[in-house]
A = this chain, B = another copy of it.
Amino acid sequence: GKNLALTGYRKSCWYEEEIEENLRWSFALNSILHTGETRYQDIALLDTKPFGKALVIDGKLQSAEVDEFIYHESLVHPALLHHPNPKTIFIMGGGEGSTAREILRHKTVEKVVMCDIDEEVVEFCKSYLVVNREAFSDPRLELVLNDARAELESRKECYDVIIGDLADPIEGGPCYKLYTKSFYEFTVKPRLNPGGIFVTQAGPAGIFSHTEVFSCIYNTLRQVFKHVVPYSAHIPSFADTWGWVMASDSPFTLSAEELDLKMKKNMKGENRYLDGKTISSACSLSKAVRKSLDNETHVYTEGSARFIYGYGTALKQNQE
């Protein structure tokens, strides 16, 4: 008797997200841990039944407790493993702290600059995301509160790996400026050491959704770098396969076995999602997506951009 009633109640409160205009994704809620506004965006921390604690910015799920490791392992490790000796890393965005957490697991890393524009989000994540506390207090981490572009342009030093952990390009907003050919060519590439690698999250990469921004980011990067590798992984809480692109003027040559050896040698702790085989498989896109990426002709420039569905306009100010 009791259980039925409980179930009844437990399904009464829902978080609902419009993945696209005609598609909704709803999680039963345990509680609303925090809601607030920063100078740049709306922020909420929800305790959801299917995906644990969920960070929501401007009505869009950013990361969920149970599967954020897929996103962050995929963003960080392929680039850091392919690099022969990654010592200095620059993160554009990443205020949540999880990207830094994964980077700091690499023993070669001596310095990580995390450059996020929204101080309040960073403070919020520091307080609430227990799993990243150690990373936030690691002496190798330098936290900078600034627009990533301005910061990169003002710095003289170069980095072994630069990581784009930004929101997707948004219609009418300036964030897409961090995805343009000129930004990659004149801001990012000059700040890479020889043999350096750039990697960025690249939006949804599903069989239909990859044309929203993934294929364009890929095509834009191949205008600027000699070697460009798109890869993807299904993230349950995003209700989609997600994409990343890594790019370098040096080739990516390690085999699955070599990647496994490097993980063992260079990294603290064990990955939950990625090993050598998983990286190889992630880089082997399905025929449909591969063909579509090959045929993509659109290049992001300041004057032309493709956007993803429905982000709040507040985000537009995020990286400007």
Contacts and interface: CB of A to CB of B under 8 A. Distances in A.
Contacts of A44: 9, 12-13
Given A66-B208, A209-B236, A50 B26 contact: no
Query: How large, as a class, is the contact surface on chain A?
Result: 35 or more
Secondary structure at the A interface, as helix, strand, loop or mixed, is: mixed
Interface stretch (A177-185, A194-202, A245-253, A285-293): A285-293
Which interface residue of A4, A207, A208, A271 has the most chain B CB atoms within 10 A?
A207
A277 B272 contact: no
A117 to B, nearest CB: 15
Contacts of A207: 67, 70, 234, 236, 273
B12 A17 contact: yes
B13 A13 contact: yes
29 contacts: A1-B316, A1-B317, A2-B313, A4-B313, A4-B314, A5-B41, A6-B312, A9-B42, A9-B312, A10-B22, A12-B56, A13-B14, A13-B46, A14-B16, A23-B26, A23-B28, A23-B50, A31-B35, A66-B208, A67-B207, A70-B207, A206-B234, A207-B273, A208-B236, A234-B234, A239-B239, A273-B287, A281-B281, A281-B284
Given A6-B42, A282-B286, 19 more contacts: A1-B313, A1-B316, A2-B37, A2-B313, A5-B313, A5-B314, A5-B315, A8-B42, A9-B312, A20-B50, A22-B49, A24-B24, A25-B26, A26-B26, A29-B32, A31-B32, A70-B207, A233-B286, A274-B286
